[in-house]
Amino acid sequence: ISLHKVRGDNGHHVVESAFKAFSRALRNMIDGTDTSNDWSASMEKTWGKSSQSYKDGIQLQRGGIIQRQTKETSIDVMLQLDGTNGSDKFVIDTGLNTLNTFVTSLAKEADVSLNAVCKGDLWVDDHHTSEDVAIALGQVLNKALGTKAGLNRMWCAVGGSGDAQVEVTMDLSNRPCLTSNLSLSNNEQGEEYVGDMSIEMFAHALESLVMNGQMTVHIVENNAGKNLMETVVATAIAFGRALRLCAAVDPRRAGKTASSKGTLSV
């Protein structure tokens, strides 16, 4: 047996991640949880509104407010993670219809209450509005999650819209990283926009959300939509579903951080 270190490949993290994935899969099997299923009876029992997880979350009352003012945008965001009532709790007005759709779909699947209002320099282009809204959303999410102690922390979920199917694997790691194989920029029609938002800025908004949310996210496009909006919505749905379960309190952790280091802050 021989071991060869290839420069640039961090073997430690590969092995560590593999064992973490195995342990999570084993726990889900014991719980009877199928992560490829939107919401099963076993998931309702463990994570639903009658579960201990949900009740513990209510006690935390996690939320946050971000007000972000620059010469280019004025943004107000208010987020409540716990004790929300789903689709009744959204006020999303970014000035971009595509971004509104993405954020609303994500918040609905994450089962959070979210107000996000932006006045930006759209007479120039969609750059500053797209980027700054995503930055504010990531910041308020990271603020609401706090130390992340006692949380489930990791999850994967699948979202679909029309022909599009996208899978998101998420870790509230405090080590931000986004990898994605979304084919939006390589679409056969050569389109540069999804609705009123450029494809380039949608990709940048995703990155800004992940970086400021301090999370690790892998996005896999299993099947492209018959139009670009289907892929955008499928991504939002998968992202929101993964976030909901990552942010859920796991009573079995008894308030301890899901890390062998005991903290995610260093």
pLDDT in tens, 207-230: 999 999 999 999 999 999 999 999
- Rounded CA gap, 205 and 118, in Å? 14
Residues 58-82, mean pLDDT to the nearest whole number: 94
Instruction: Say how far apart CA 110 and CA 12 lie, in whole Å.
Output: 32
The C-alpha atoms of residue 193 and residue 209 are separated, in whole angstroms, by 20
pLDDT tens for 165-216 read 999 999 998 889 999 999 988 887 888 999 999 999 999 999 999 999 999 9
Higher-confidence residue of 60 and 254: namely 60
pTM of the model: 0.89
Amino acid at 49: K
Confidence (pLDDT) at 2? 65
| Side-chain-side CA neighbours of residue 120 (13 Å) | 24
Q: What pLDDT digit, counting tens, does each position of 79-135 carry?
A: 999 877 654 588 999 999 999 999 999 999 999 999 999 999 999 999 999 999 999
